[in-house]
Structure 1
Amino acid sequence: MRASHTDRERAIDVLKAGFSEGRLGQAEYEQRLTRASQAQTYAELQMLLADLPQGPVPMPPAPQPPPGYQPVPRTFLPAPPPRTNGMAIGALVCGILTPMYGITALPAVILGHLAKAQIRRSGEEGSGFATAGLVLGWLAIGFTLAIVLAVVASV
């Protein structure tokens, strides 16, 4: 059966893919390319493409573990890094926001104390964040109380 222009173009595409994948050398690629562009029948095109994959190459199946294989027990795997306590982060954020929004001093103190208790129980990270939130919160509360006392004393 006679080959059409489209059939020759498909064959040339397969040859290009074979060359780009390293399946064909430069000289052989050029020779096959010339023969493909001059091919008259499907048989001539098939002879040029017989040793090349013409589409997606199936992947070999994944190797199966040998009989009796046991995966590494979790006790021998490295421990995941400890998480940072969310309340400790919240205490630090509230403490930092205290100069702008004075009302966040009380949540900074509350969250700081709760975070410290959770960190002692769970072993999470973030003790420094909780402490910083506590210090900033108590400083803001103390500063506010000092101002109130100064105003009351001056009256």
Structure 2
Amino acid sequence: MQRWQGGQGVPQPWQGQGAPSMLASHADRERAVDVLRAGFSEGRLDERELDQRVARAYQTRTVGELALLVADLPQGPVPLTSAAVAVPATFLPKTPPPTNGKAVGSLVCGVLTLMTAGLTGLPAVVLGHAARREMSHTGESGDGLALTGLVLGWLSVAGWAVLLTLLVVAGFAGV
């Protein structure tokens, strides 16, 4: 586990605070040892040299002595020398097409037919057909929404047609 200056888990440069003759704190020694361990993990130091420098780091008294132990090592993340290559569009995830607004409206009107006694059935049918026509030209998504709105709308229209037919038949039968 590496403890780096800053505490965010991102390696930061070790910078001894103050003058070289200032006494080193435990935190200063730990940051210097972290830089040494990072140098070892990158292959910049061999194990024997790491052990010697770590032992020396824990024996130091001043910040200047610690600075000498890590002077020949990068003291933080080494920047990339070349710019990162962009990922070709072939390998990027494809963004889904937007959902057609009329398809959503058709579904909402179709569902509302249950609560409005079928009064929103006709708008559901009109919006559903308009949405499907638009989606075939624009490539938008939402065909399932439009189809559901159409089915619920047509069921509502059929229900009203049956109810009106029964009322007309009952009216003629009662005359």
The TM-score normalised by the length of structure 1 is 0.65
| Residue from 141, 149, 156 that aligns with 1:133 | 149
State how far apart, in whole Å, the 1-side matches of 2:22 and 2:158 are.
Answer: 92
- Alignment partner, residue 37 of structure 2: 19
State how far apart, in whole Å, the 2-side matches of 1:58 and 1:151 are.
Answer: 83
User: What amino acid is the match of 1:85?
Assistant: N
State how far apart, in whole Å, the 2-side matches of 1:50 and 1:121 are.
Answer: 66
State how far apart, in whole Å, the 2-side matches of 1:144 and 1:99 are.
Answer: 12
| Residue from 24, 48, 65 that aligns with 1:5 | 24
Q: Does residue 1:91 correspond to 2:106, yes or no?
A: yes
On the 8 A contact 1:88/1:127 being kept in 2, the answer is yes
C-alpha displacement at 1:113, in angstroms?
Answer: 2.2
C-alpha displacement at 1:108, in angstroms?
Answer: 0.7
- Alignment partner, residue 115 of structure 1: 131
C-alpha displacement at 1:83, in angstroms?
Answer: 4.4
CA deviation map 1:77-113 (0-9, x unaligned): xx97654433123313432342233333122112112
Q: Alpha carbon RMSD of aligned pairs, Å?
A: 3.5
State how far apart, in whole Å, the 2-side matches of 1:62 and 1:112 are.
Answer: 50
- Alignment partner, residue 78 of structure 2: 57
| Residue from 121, 130, 149 that aligns with 1:105 | 121
Q: List alignment gaps of at least 5 residues for structure 2.
A: 1-19
State how far apart, in whole Å, the 1-side matches of 2:66 and 2:137 are.
Answer: 75
C-alpha displacement at 1:124, in angstroms?
Answer: 3.6
State how far apart, in whole Å, the 2-side matches of 1:41 and 1:132 are.
Answer: 77
C-alpha displacement at 1:129, in angstroms?
Answer: 3.8
- Alignment partner, residue 65 of structure 2: 44
State how far apart, in whole Å, the 2-side matches of 1:42 and 1:110 are.
Answer: 79
On the 8 A contact 1:19/1:25 being kept in 2, the answer is no
C-alpha displacement at 1:4, in angstroms?
Answer: 0.6
- Alignment partner, residue 35 of structure 1: 56
Q: Structure 1 residues 55, 154: CA separation in 2 closer, same or farther (over 3 Å shift)?
A: same
State how far apart, in whole Å, the 1-side matches of 2:157 and 2:79 are.
Answer: 69
Q: List alignment gaps of at least 5 residues for structure 1.
A: 65-71
| Residue from 130, 147, 150 that aligns with 2:166 | 150
User: What amino acid is the match of 1:31?
Assistant: Q
Percent identity between the two aligned chains = 41
C-alpha displacement at 1:10, in angstroms?
Answer: 1.8
Q: Structure 1 residues 96, 27: CA separation in 2 closer, same or farther (over 3 Å shift)?
A: farther
- Alignment partner, residue 69 of structure 1: none
Q: Structure 1 residues 91, 19: CA separation in 2 closer, same or farther (over 3 Å shift)?
A: same
